[in-house]
Structure 1
């Protein structure tokens, strides 16, 4: 994908939390590819390694959040010191983002961070195995500018141990799937989260399957089944959202 011609010069910020270098670097490369941003316009912050830097939201175009091995619903005693630090730093940032309605798009872990801010119930009720599922836009989703160009129903990559069980009334549901009712939502006008992964292609999710084979997403004897599940159908539509996001909010 060629770089996007964008107005202004303020960068977007990608907040990442993957400790493993290969999936972390591939995640950044995929965000660059699907947003069309050059590296100087997408600043990556690896929160699993470094503290959250001071971010002046007036000096950036928007915030992107990648996926994470962290689960917001894990009991506190099971969370590492790094996870507890990241969650506290993300919570402070999301509070400010929502208050200012700063452009924000969180993929998968964005549901945990934004859902926690909303005090939505987050648990394993609607967990989905690593696979391709059919995601359908709601009427509000079909009218939302971030979903412009998406079909009413499209295949998307998922794989998560927790999800929002019920969305608060002050958030807008934009997309659902048969096995997970909250696949995408918006708060205010410019703050979004998706449970599915718009930043992934099949090679990227295969890398993650191998990298996180021991993290409890699937049983030890289910590797081949899981690899086959992500090839069930071609996944091309969700990544359009990333390009739309940067074209809409670059300044």
Structure 2
């Protein structure tokens, strides 16, 4: 029986950046719009039948942070974090598959009882990621190079995976770059989907949001454009092959 489509879940208030992120996921996974649907969680809660309609979920990044003080979180942020937790609950019990990225890894880590803090930020741009021994044995990460470049821009992170999490990738600056819980929940701190060009365009949207000094944009963009980020895309294609509607070509 043919599996249902995957669903990209948008958690970015900036609609232009969200639309570009969806396209980055879709193109990286080599899926068409019928194979990768999209839902704007910022503007609408998860539909009641969402787990019946989709075989898996891809959660994008956001300027929100899991460590934002509760007193500063908007009603929208609280609601979408509750909905992301619902997706994580389903993925932990293997009733769906999910890949949470960047902001999403913080939400999932906290839900699972792990610690997220502002102690492990990474500068905007390429970073070196190392696949762990457990990662080398993982169905998705085991297909990647043992050391690769990925694109990051985040203000929070974790020293270790949450209870039940298997560490799949790490680096010195942010010890938890990726983990898996069970067989169907994956989370990455890095962004697996954008090309360097798409990442610089996203940087322009968030130029004044504190990820980097605005006057450093051109310097950082030059570094990003020179980066080779082939392995994160392969991770996404592996996720699509394993959980998506059909094997991408």
Shift of 1:169: 4.3
How is 1:105-144 mapped onto 2 (pairs within 5 angstroms)? 105-144=99-138
Distance verdict in 2 for CA 1:196–1:15, change over 3 Å: same
Q: 2:51 aligns with which of 24, 49, 57?
A: 57
Aligned equivalents of 2:82 and 2:98: distance in 1?
A: 18
Q: 1:200 aligns with which of 194, 202, 222?
A: 194
Aligned equivalents of 1:161 and 1:236: distance in 2?
A: 24
Partner of 1:3: none
Which shifted more, 70-79 or 18-27?
A: 18-27
Alignment check: 8 A CA contact 1:94 1:113 kept:
no
Alignment check: 8 A CA contact 1:206 1:227 kept:
yes
Matched, 1:179 2:173: yes
Shift of 1:97: 2.5
Alignment check: 8 A CA contact 2:94 2:183 kept:
no
Shift of 1:187: 0.3
Q: Secondary structure at 2:143's aligned position in 1?
A: coil
Shift of 1:54: 1.7
How is 1:32-71 mapped onto 2 (pairs within 5 angstroms)? 32-71=26-65
Alignment check: 8 A CA contact 1:101 1:191 kept:
no
Gap runs ≥5 in structure 1: 1-6
Gap runs ≥5 in structure 2: none
Q: 1:94 aligns with which of 88, 94, 98?
A: 88
Size of the aligned set, in residue pairs, is 245
Aligned equivalents of 1:164 and 1:54: distance in 2?
A: 32
| Cα RMSD for the two superposed structures | 1.7
Q: 1:22 aligns with which of 4, 10, 16?
A: 16
Shift of 1:48: 1.2
